[in-house]
Amino acid sequence: MAKKVNPIRNTKKSKDFVKVIKTRRSPKSGAYSFREEIVHKDDVKKFFLKN
């Protein structure tokens, strides 16, 4: 099976992007859920501030 080529990784601007992971705890069950996204390094604070 061939691998898919990620267009972000093949550019010189790929160093401007970071993978961020936000954890959230469910008030009902107490279990953790994770939300991960690849965002531009200037938008990291926006990712963590939005609900």
Tens digit of each residue's pLDDT (9 = 90 or more) over 11-39: 667 788 999 999 999 899 999 999 999 99
The helix (run of H) or strand (run of E) holding residue 41 is: none
- pLDDT score for 7: 63
CA distance 21 to 30: 18
Task: Say if CB 22 and CB 47 are below 8 A apart.
Answer: yes
Residue 22 lies in a domain: yes
| Range of the structural domain that residue 45 is part of | 13-49
Residue 1 has pLDDT above 70, yes or no: no
**Any domain includes 43:** yes
Question: Which residue is it, tokens 């279990």?
Answer: 31
* Count of domains forming the chain: 1
Higher local confidence (pLDDT), 50 or 7: 50
Side chain identity, residue 23:
T
| Residue 2 resides in a domain | no
1 within some domain: no
Please give the model's pTM, rounded to 2 decimal places: 0.59
